[in-house]
Amino acid sequence: MIRRLTSNDDRACQHLLSVKPAENLFIIGDIENFGYDQDFQKLWGDFDRNDQLRAVLLKYHNNYIAYANDYFDAKGFATIINEDPEFMQLSGLQIITEKILPYIKVGSLRNRSLYYAKCDDTEKLNTDVNTSHVKLATTNDVQRLVHLQNQIPEFERDNSREDSIRRGIEQKSARVYYSEDNGTMISSASTTAENSMSAMVVGVCTHPNYKRKGYASTCMLKLCQDLLADGKMLCLFYDNPEAGSIYKRLGFEDIGMWMMHIFEKAEEPSTV
């Protein structure tokens, strides 16, 4: 049986999601930040015959994310999605989305797949590396960070980046670790979507003139040490084997493929 979730279901919902906090980082964070009943956010639960919650479907604006630890009513979740005129994207672990996709009826789609990895064990970290020079950024450092990121060819230009980073630091949903050379920020690694159990690693970069000297890895190591000490699991996306090998040396392990299925609404037929 599928029904809308409310705050009265929070205990059961957290019990289900907390078993795999990395896989459920976005759902956990959105619940902590926005609850169960917003104009832009809603949640549904799939319950088994014993009224035990076995799957969750989150709507955040026009994006849906689903999680289940085993069998769930994929067709029922798809029905909810199909009835939403705002729907444009289905995201989640491939083993979940591939069960829902056959029942999605709207529009054409394009896919993007990313490797999804997590780090949850301090013993896997290389403690021989000196991280004492790595600093934790404040809002006073945001402009320098944006200047660094604007020099990274792989990073898309984003006019909202400065405000987004500043807001994350102020709200304590993000952290930025960086190293510098003579006052110039040369490398950084950041978190986003921090919640009580996990955080997403983003924005790992090094200035082109300082590459392959271990600066980004050292920033990452300091980030991992601090977050794990706070009891938070780290997770990240990557899309190429070279990046994956670096993260694995730091203690990350793959947990699956993260899929983003983007749907384009079919155009209404012309009446002319």
| Residue 270 falls inside a structural domain | no
| Residue 264 falls inside a structural domain | no
Cβ neighbours of residue 265 closer than 8 Å, sequence gap 6 or more:
88, 106, 107
Same domain flag for 88 and 206? no
| Residue 132 falls inside a structural domain | yes
Domain count, the chain: 2
Among 48, 73, 106, the domain boundary falls at: 106
Cβ neighbours of residue 258 closer than 8 Å, sequence gap 6 or more:
91, 92, 93, 94, 113, 114, 115, 116, 237
- Percent of residues in the chain assigned helix, strand, coil, to nearest 5: 35, 30, 35
Tell whether the torsion through CA atoms of 13, 17, 21 and 24 is positive or negative.
negative
Give CA–CA dist 207/191, Å, rounded.
Answer: 19
Same domain flag for 42 and 149? no
Same domain flag for 62 and 124? no
Instruction: Give SS3 for 249.
Output: helix
Q: Which domain holds residue 12?
A: 2-106
Q: Specify which residues 57 forms β-bridges with.
A: 44, 66
Same domain flag for 124 and 252? yes
Q: Are 44 and 68 within 8 A, CB to CB?
A: no
Q: Are 17 and 24 within 8 A, CB to CB?
A: yes
Among 106, 129, 145, the domain boundary falls at: 106
Same domain flag for 149 and 234? yes
Same domain flag for 227 and 128? yes
Q: Are 185 and 145 within 8 A, CB to CB?
A: yes
Q: Which of 159, 227, 219, 226 is nearest to 193 (CA)?
A: 227
pLDDT by residue for the chain (272 residues), tens digit each? 999 999 999 999 999 999 999 999 999 999 998 999 899 999 999 999 999 999 999 999 999 999 999 999 999 999 999 999 999 999 999 999 999 999 999 877 899 999 999 999 888 887 778 899 999 999 999 999 999 999 998 888 788 889 999 999 998 999 999 999 999 999 999 999 999 999 999 999 999 999 989 999 999 999 999 999 999 999 999 998 888 888 998 899 999 999 999 997 645 444 43
| Residue 9 falls inside a structural domain | yes
* pTM: predicted TM-score of the whole model, two decimal places: 0.84
Q: What is the DSSP letter of 86?
A: T
